[in-house]
Structure 1
Amino acid sequence: MIPFLDLKAQYRQIKPEIDAAVARAIGSAQFVLGPEVAAFEERFADYCKVAHCHAVNSGTSALHLALLAAGIGPGDEVITVSMTFVATTAAVLYSGAKPVFVDVDPVTWTMNPASIEAAITPRTKAILPVHLHGLMADMDPIMSIARRHGLLVIEDAAQAHGAEYKGRRAGSIGDLGCFSFYPGKNLGAFGEGGAVVTDRPDLARRVSLLRDWGQEAKYKHVIAGYNYRMDGIQGAVLNVKMDYIEAWTEARRSIAAEYDRLLSTLSPARPLPPWYSRHVYHVYALRLSRRDEALRALHGAGIGAAIHYPVPVHLQKAYAELGYGLGDLPVTERLANEFLSLPIYPELLPEQVAEIVSKLKTVSPLGFARPIDGERDEILARPNNRRAS
C-alpha cells in the first residue's frame, strides 16, 4: 500500500521536537495567540520575504480577512478562478462581494492573464489569483493589469508555501498573500491554521484587528471584528516545522523530477512550469483522457492516487446562484475531467515512486490527454522553454 499522503511518517521524523514544543505550549498556558504564535509569525514573514504576518485559525479565514482588510464588500466584484478549492469562492461571498470567474492557462493551469481585462467592470475591486498545486500564477501581467485599473491583488497561496516567481516568494507580490496550514499542506499544523502576509502596514494593522474582535487593546474595540485567532499549540507545531520546510520542499521537487524522468517516454500531459518558477509540488498532477478508469486501477493496486478537483467551483450546486454553466470556462472544465494526482510527500521512497510509475504505465493505454486548444502553440511560443530546475 502506498498512501496518497503519510502524515504519520512526518510525525515520526520530528516526534521529539514536536512533543517538546506542544508540552511547552501547554505548560505556558498561552493557548490563544501568545509567544509561540508571535515567534512563528516572525519566522514565516521572513520566509515569505515580507514585513508582516498575522496567523489566523484557517486558510479560509485568511482569505476572508484579506478581502475585508482590502475594503472589499457588498456590491464589489472580485476576479478569480474556478479551478480551486471552494474556500476561495466562499471567502469572496463571506465579504459580501461577487466572485467573477476567468479561465486558466492551458500550460500552467493557473489564472490566464489574457482573460482578466474582459472581466473587469466598474464594480471590480480586486483580482484573486490561485497558485495551484504549488505553482504560482503568472504574476507580472496580473499585477500590471491590476495597477492599470486601480485594483488590489490578493494571492491565494494556500498550496504554495515557498513557491517562487522570478525570485519572489508566494504571498510577497500582491497586496496581500493568504496561506493555509491545514495538516496536509506543505507546511501543515496539527489542526486548522492560516496566515495573511503583506508589506503594507495599513493592511497588516487591519488584519491584526479583524482577527481579534477588532480590539487594539483588551476590551477596546475600534472596528467590528472576528474570532479568527491561531491557537498557541498550532504556533508551536509550525515553529518546529519551519526548521524543515526547505528540506521537505526540495524533497518534493526531487520526487517530482523523478516522476518526470520515469514518465518522460510516455509524454504525459502535465503543467509546464516556466523556467523562472519554483514549483513546490503540493500536488503532482497529470492529465488522463480516461482518468476515472486509471484511478480505479491505481486504487486496485493499493496506490492512493486522488483528484484535485473533479468538479470546478462554477459547476458546484452550492454556487449555482452565481449563474455559470457548462461551457463557460472550457479549459477549467477539461482539466477537471482529466486531472489525476499521484502521491507526493517528502517521505515517499524512490522505490515507491518507481512502483507508482510502473503501475501507471500498465494503464497508460487508457491514454494521456491530448493538448488543450492553444496549449502546444503557447509552449512553443514561450522563450527559454524548459522545465524549472
Structure 2
Amino acid sequence: MTVPTATASIPFFPPDLFETDREALLETVYSIGTGTEQKFILGERTARLEEELREGLGAGDVVACSSGTSALTLVLTAMGVGPGDEVVVPAFGCAPLASTVVNSGARPVFADIDPLTLTADPAAAASLVTARTKALMPAHMFSFMADMPGFRALADRHGLRLVEDSAVAQGGVLHGRPAGRWGDAGVYSFVQVKTFGMPGEGGVVVTDDPRLARDVRMLRNHGQDGVRRFHHHRVGYNSRFDEVLADFQLRRLAGLPARLARRAEIAAYYSERFAPLADRGITAPPVGGDGRCHYVYAVLARRRDALVAHLAERGVGSHVYYPRTLPEQPAFAPYAPGGARWPRAESAARRNLALPLYPHLSDAEVEHVADAVCAFAHTDDTEDR
C-alpha cells in the first residue's frame, strides 16, 4: 500500500463526487429535456422516487421537496406552528434548526447537547418545556443519531409534536428503526455532500400521518392539491422536486447501501487509530454502536487550529462545521435568554473538526489522514497548553 506523500491533496469536499455518474446524468438531462411530455417538476420520476423511498423505509408516505430546509418549513407549517409557539431545538447545529422556526413566527428554544453524540439532550430539553411549547425538533449530528426514544417519550408525555431532523442521517438505524421514522415527521436532505447527495438541492418529508402528508404535498406546490390546478387550499410555497434529479437519484439508489458501508468502514478505521489519543487532546467517536450514521467524521480537538494547520501541511483538508452555537449567532441571539449558557454546545463549537469521509477515498488516502492526525497528537504540545 502506497501512502500519499506530504504534497498529495486529499480535499475535504471532493470535486469529483459524481465523476462516475457523468454519463448517466447527461443521459438523464437529454432524455427529459427532449421528451415530448416536457415535465420538469413533480412528474412520474419524482413519484417513483417517493414510492421507492417509502417502501424502503416502511413509511406511510414520503413527499419530495426542494431542500432539507424546505422540508422542515413545510412540516412546521403543516403542523400549525406559528406566532406564540415555542419549538425546542439543539443549541449546536445548522442554521435551519432555528431559522425555520423563526420564519414560522414561532420562537426557537435552545437545548444543550450530549457531550459524546453532540445531539440535543432530552433531559436538557425537558427542562425547557412550557405551556407555549408546540414541538420538539432534535437533529442527528455528524455520525450519531439523537436519543429519539428519549425525545419520543418526552413528546408523548407533554402532548407535543416531534419533528426529527434526520437531514444528515439517511441510512442510520436506532433500535431497529430507521432515521426519519421516529417523529411525527422526519426529513432528509439530498444536497451534494449528504449520504444520498446529488448535484443540486432536494429533500423529502417522511411521515406516517396521512393528513400531515396531504398538507405537505399541498404546501410544496403553492397550496394546490394536485387534482385541480390553480385551486389553492392553503397559502403555500414553491418547493417542488426536479425530474432530472429524481431520475438521477433513482439510478443511484441501489448503490446507496454500498456507499454507506464504505463510509462506515472508513469511520471505523479512523476510530480504531484515534482511540488512544484521548489523553493527548483528540477525542474520536467510538467504533460502531447502535444509532450510528456516517455523514461526517468529526473529532474534538483541544488544539483545533494547530491541527488544521498540521493537516493542511500534509495535504489533508478538514472542516469546522459550526464554530458558534446557534444562540451565539447574531441572527438568533435575540431569541436566547440574556446570560444563558450552553456549556457543552460551546465546547463542541470550540473543538469540533471534521476529516475527509466519502466513499471513493482509497485505503491509502484514509491511512494518510489517520497517520497525519496521530503524528500531530504525538508532537510536543507544551507551548499550547
TM-score relative to the length of structure 2? 0.91
1:348 partner letter: L
Q: How does 1:137-148 map to 2 (within 5 A)?
A: 137-148=146-157
Q: How does 1:371-382 map to 2 (within 5 A)?
A: none
2:18 partner letter: Y
Report the CA distance shift for 1:184/1:324 in structure 2 as closer, same or farther (over 3 A): farther
Task: Please list the CA deviations of residues 126-145 of structure 1 after superposition, one character each: whole Å capped at 9, or x if unmatched.
Answer: 00000101421111111011
Task: Please list the CA deviations of residues 223-260 of structure 1 after superposition, one character each: whole Å capped at 9, or x if unmatched.
Answer: 11111111111212221221211110000000011112
CA distance in 2, matches of 1:152, 1:172: 14
SS for the counterpart of 1:99 is strand
CA distance in 2, matches of 1:125, 1:366: 50
CA distance in 1, matches of 2:255, 2:339: 43
- Contact 1:51-1:199 within 8 A present in 2 as well: yes
Which moved further from structure 2: 183-192 or 43-52? 43-52
Q: How does 1:329-348 map to 2 (within 5 A)?
A: 329-348=342-361
Aligned match for 2:322, one of 306, 309, 315: 309
SS for the counterpart of 1:16 is helix
SS for the counterpart of 2:318 is coil
SS for the counterpart of 1:257 is helix
- Does structure 1 residue 361 correspond to structure 2 residue 374? yes
Aligned match for 2:65, one of 50, 53, 56: 56
- Contact 2:299-2:353 within 8 A present in 1 as well: yes
Aligned to 2:18: 11
SS for the counterpart of 1:31 is coil
2:87 partner letter: V
Structure 1 portions without partners, runs of 5+ = 369-389
SS for the counterpart of 2:11 is coil
- Does structure 1 residue 26 correspond to structure 2 residue 33? yes
- Does structure 1 residue 124 correspond to structure 2 residue 136? no
- Contact 1:134-1:161 within 8 A present in 2 as well: no
- Contact 1:293-1:366 within 8 A present in 2 as well: no
Q: CA deviation at 1:326?
A: 7.1
1:202 partner letter: R
Aligned to 2:289: 275
Q: How does 1:26-175 map to 2 (within 5 A)?
A: 26-28=33-35, 29-175=38-184
Report the CA distance shift for 1:43/1:101 in structure 2 as closer, same or farther (over 3 A): same
Q: CA deviation at 1:330?
A: 0.4
Task: Please list the CA deviations of residues 305-332 of structure 1 after superposition, one character each: whole Å capped at 9, or x if unmatched.
Answer: 1112111111111212113567611000
How much is the aligned-residue C-alpha RMSD, in angstroms? 1.8
CA distance in 2, matches of 1:366, 1:20: 51
Aligned to 1:379: none
SS for the counterpart of 2:142 is helix
CA distance in 2, matches of 1:182, 1:325: 35
Q: How does 1:256-275 map to 2 (within 5 A)?
A: 256-267=267-278, 268-272=282-286, 275=289
Q: CA deviation at 1:270?
A: 2.5
2:362 partner letter: L
- Does structure 1 residue 240 correspond to structure 2 residue 256? no
% identical equivalent positions: 35
- Contact 1:64-1:95 within 8 A present in 2 as well: yes
2:157 partner letter: R
CA distance in 1, matches of 2:174, 2:248: 28
Task: Please list the CA deviations of residues 281-316 of structure 1 after superposition, one character each: whole Å capped at 9, or x if unmatched.
Answer: 110011111101111121222211111211111111
SS for the counterpart of 1:91 is helix
- Does structure 1 residue 186 correspond to structure 2 residue 185? no
CA distance in 2, matches of 1:108, 1:92: 23
TM-score relative to the length of structure 1? 0.90
CA distance in 2, matches of 1:255, 1:293: 24
CA distance in 1, matches of 2:210, 2:82: 21
1:199 partner letter: D
- Contact 2:185-2:207 within 8 A present in 1 as well: yes
Which moved further from structure 2: 330-339 or 181-190? 181-190
Report the CA distance shift for 1:99/1:39 in structure 2 as closer, same or farther (over 3 A): same
Runs of 4+ more than 4 Å apart? 324-327, 365-368
Aligned match for 1:2, one of 10, 14, 18: 10
Structure 2 portions without partners, runs of 5+ = 1-8
- Does structure 1 residue 176 correspond to structure 2 residue 189? no
Count of aligned pairs = 366
CA distance in 2, matches of 1:158, 1:366: 37
CA distance in 2, matches of 1:115, 1:184: 30
